[in-house]
Amino acid sequence: MKDIFDKIAATYATGAIKYQHCTSCGHTQAFARPFCVACHQPDPAWREATSGTVVACTTMHRAPTPEWKARLPYAIALIDLTDGPRVMALADPDLNPGDRAVLKPGGVHNLPYFEPMVTKCVFPRY
């Protein structure tokens, strides 16, 4: 299990989120384990998250530790990843439930950070 937690911690430090996908039954899980919790198949495959939909977002005004006090206020969101599992991460405070969000490359404060998905409108020229 320590190897799995070390892998997750190293991934988060780059601003990325990895989750597990079972190649046997298709189940996805955000909490990493050495087996699929749905069918008990060992060694689920790893995937990297890119985007998702906001379930909830709140702004923190009290820090859980002295280290986080300098970062106040900051927002935390629950995100349903596009491919399945629900995760919690730092987020843009303007995100609202139902908004599409993408992981910011590199993260913020060396942690995963979701920001609003910006879609470009391309108008045809005649």
Residues that bind Zn ion (CB under 5 A): 22, 24-25, 27, 36, 38-39, 41
Q: What SS3 string covers the chain?
A: CHHHHHHHHHHHCCCCCEEEECCCCCCEECCCCCECCCCCCECCEEEECCEEEEEEEEEECCCCCHHHHCCCCEEEEEEEECCCCEEEEEECCCCCCCCEEEECCCCECCECEEEECCCCCCCCCC
When the beta carbons of 24 and 59 are compared against Zn ion, the nearer one is 24
To Zn ion, the closest distance from the beta carbon of 32 in angstroms equals 14
To Zn ion, the closest distance from the beta carbon of 63 in angstroms equals 39
When the beta carbons of 4 and 78 are compared against Zn ion, the nearer one is 4
To Zn ion, the closest distance from the beta carbon of 105 in angstroms equals 30
Cis peptide preceding 97, ω within 30 of 0: no
When the beta carbons of 13 and 25 are compared against Zn ion, the nearer one is 25
To Zn ion, the closest distance from the beta carbon of 21 in angstroms equals 9
When the beta carbons of 29 and 51 are compared against Zn ion, the nearer one is 29
